[in-house]
């Protein structure tokens, strides 16, 4: 197994386990049954008691979220997918497995069956020896080691074996990479936003409400940009002029802002999970209520100095509660240099 952190990941503070995506299972009451009937010779219907009666495995897994936080060494317990495959016997043409959740948006994710088995995919019932907490996918979730954690579906209700792939929610809707290997940084697939949409957005400096995932706006002058509620995952703004830009409520997860001029930019209530601000000028910027998991404000620290750090002062605002989600070095930098509102 690999050791150390995959590229561009940060450790969460010890003891923290961020909550990502949906927060609770969909309606359906206390009874929980995992159905395995599509694409199999031998249909199964497994409640937690039946799952607990199958051979159990404990395995320590490093969690790597696509938004750049990692939580190493979580001990999961449950049943290997392999045990279920042996019992249900997928039809010979079934090269893919899809996991479906009991959740508001019928969340799903998929893998090739070969990958799912070789990675040691687990139908997990426990974390650290305790039953899985509901918000972390209890009573039953999938855990796929060695893949970004969006492959690890919470509230498992169905396992389908498919002849053709059926990309899941994040892969189909958010542009997340279908293979999701953190060691290769397979975070996103290329964006398919039409070029004329990109061009006109850059010309008018009006991104409000648009989906411009992956846009390349490096070193552009976009001062005063209107970006309220824009969807800008994985967008590139390295070295751009964005003073007075308004990103209120925008989705900027994994956006790249290194060395950008962000003076007096608004990030109120924005999702900047995994975004990189190294070296950016954040004087007067407002991050009140922003979601900061995995965000980078400096490249590291050595000899008491923060390396390639943001420029902040008493006019750069953060709310105290969102700082709790930052990695330790990132948090230390912000706490010593910016204004923290209770
Ligand atoms: N049903 C369901 N499963 C899901 C998600 C979701 O939104 N719904 N989000 C995924 C993502 S993106 C991540 S990073 C992990 C987060 O798991 P956690 O909340 O236990 O940390 O769950 C994954 N499984
Ligand atoms: Mo994620």
Task: Render pLDDT for 177-229 as a digit per residue (tens, 0 to 9).
Answer: 999 999 999 999 988 899 999 999 999 999 999 999 999 999 999 999 999 99
On the question of pLDDT at 126 being above 90, the answer is yes
Kindly state the DSSP code that residue 56 receives in the 8-state scheme. Answer: P
- Where are the extended beta strands (E) located within the chain? 10-11, 34-38, 44-46, 57-64, 69-80, 96-101, 108-112, 122-127, 130-131, 141-143, 156-162, 286-287, 300-302, 305-307, 317-319, 339-341
C-alpha pair distances (Å), 251 with each of 58, 97, 265, 272: 36, 30, 15, 7
Q: Which two tokens stand for residue 187?
A: 């975070």
Q: How many residues does the chain have?
A: 342
Q: What mean pLDDT is predicted for residues 89-115? A: 97
Place of tokens 């893998």: 111
Backbone angles phi and psi of 49, in degrees to 5: -65, -45
β-pairing, 122-127 vs 108-112, is unpaired
Q: Is the minimum distance from the CB of 39 to ligand 1 under 6 angstroms?
A: no
On the question of pLDDT at 125 being above 50, the answer is yes
Place of tokens 């899985």: 132
**Mean model confidence pLDDT for the chain:** 96
Find the range with the poorest average confidence among 135-139, 158-162, 229-233, 321-325: 321-325
Q: Is the minimum distance from the CB of 21 to ligand 1 under 6 angstroms?
A: yes
Among all ligands shown, which has an atom nearest to the Cα of 154?
1
Q: Grade residue 3 by pLDDT with cuts at 50, 70 and 90.
A: low
Task: Provide the pLDDT for residue 4.
Answer: 83
**Cα–Cα distance for residue pair 81/168, rounded to 1 Å:** 18
Find out whether 331 and 16 touch, Cβ atoms under 8 Å.
no
Place of tokens 């846009």: 215
Q: What is the pLDDT of residues 27-71, one digit of tens each?
A: 988 899 999 999 999 999 999 999 999 999 999 999 999 999 999
Q: Is the minimum distance from the CB of 107 to ligand 1 under 6 angstroms?
A: yes
Give pTM, 2 decimals: 0.92
On the question of pLDDT at 83 being above 50, the answer is yes
Specify the DSSP element, H or E, that contains 46: strand 44-46
**Cα–Cα distance for residue pair 327/69, rounded to 1 Å:** 8
Q: Whose CA is nearest to atom 24 of ligand 1?
A: 153
Among all ligands shown, which has an atom nearest to the Cα of 21?
1
Between the CA of 152 and the centroid of ligand 1 the distance, in Å, is: 7
Q: Is the minimum distance from the CB of 121 to ligand 1 under 6 angstroms?
A: no
Residue 178: burial class (beta carbons within 10 Å; 0-12, 13-18, 19+): middle
CA 38 to mean position of chain CA atoms: 28
Between the CA of 141 and the centroid of ligand 2 the distance, in Å, is: 14
Task: Provide the pLDDT for residue 282.
Answer: 98
Task: Provide the pLDDT for residue 304.
Answer: 87
Between the CA of 52 and the centroid of ligand 1 the distance, in Å, is: 23
Q: Which of 163, 151, 53, 153 shows the shortest CA–CA distance to 102?
A: 153
Between the CA of 150 and the centroid of ligand 2 the distance, in Å, is: 5
On the question of pLDDT at 1 being above 70, the answer is no
Q: Whose CA is nearest to atom 10 of ligand 1?
A: 150
Q: What is the pLDDT of residues 252-309, one digit of tens each?
A: 999 999 999 999 999 999 999 999 999 999 999 999 999 999 999 999 899 989 999 9
Return the percentage of the chain with pLDDT > 90, whole number: 92
Q: Is the minimum distance from the CB of 22 to ligand 1 under 6 angstroms?
A: yes
On the question of pLDDT at 98 being above 70, the answer is yes
Task: Provide the pLDDT for residue 212.
Answer: 96
Long-range contacts of 259-267 (CB under 8 A, 24+ apart): 261/223
């Amino acid at each position: 197994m690999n050791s150390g952190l995959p590229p561009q990941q940060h450790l969460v503070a010890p003891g923290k386990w961020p909550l990502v995506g949906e927060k609770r299972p969909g309606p359906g009451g206390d009874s929980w049954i995992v159905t395995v009937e599509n694409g199999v010779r031998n249909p199964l219907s497994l409640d937690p008691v039946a799952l607990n009666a199958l051979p159990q495995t404990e395995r320590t897994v490093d969690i790597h979220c696509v938004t750049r936080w990692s939580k190493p060494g979580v001990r999961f317990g449950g049943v290997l997918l392999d045990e279920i495959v042996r019992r249900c016997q997928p039809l010979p043409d079934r090269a893919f497995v899809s996991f479906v959740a009991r959740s508001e948006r019928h969340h799903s994710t998929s893998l090739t069956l070969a990958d799912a088995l070789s990675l040691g995919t687990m139908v997990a019932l426990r974390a650290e020896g305790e039953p899985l907490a509901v918000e972390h996918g209890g009573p039953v979730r999938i855990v796929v080691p060695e893949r970004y954690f969006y492959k690890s579906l919470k509230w498992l209700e169905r396992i389908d074996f498919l002849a053709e792939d059926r990309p899941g929610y994040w892969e189909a809707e958010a542009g997340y990479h279908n293979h999701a290997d953190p060691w290769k940084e397979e975070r996103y697939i290329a964006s398919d936003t039409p070029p004329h949409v990109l061009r006109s957005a850059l010309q008018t400096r009006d991104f409000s409400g648009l989906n411009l995932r992956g846009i390349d706006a490096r070193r552009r002058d976009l001062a005063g940009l209107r970006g309220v509620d824009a969807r800008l995952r994985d967008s590139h703004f390295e070295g751009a002029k964005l003073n007075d830009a308004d990103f209120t409520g925008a989705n900027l997860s994994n956006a790249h802002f290194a060395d950008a001029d962000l003076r007096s930019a608004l990030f109120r209530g924005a999702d900047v999970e995994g975004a990189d601000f190294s070296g950016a000028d954040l004087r007067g910027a407002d991050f009140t209520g922003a979601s900061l998991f995995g965000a980078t404000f400096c490249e590291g620290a050595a000899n008491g100095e923060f390396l390639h750090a943001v420029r902040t002062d008493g006019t750069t605002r953060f709310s105290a509660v969102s700082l709790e989600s930052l990695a330790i070095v990132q948090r230390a930098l912000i706490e010593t240099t910016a204004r923290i509102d209770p």
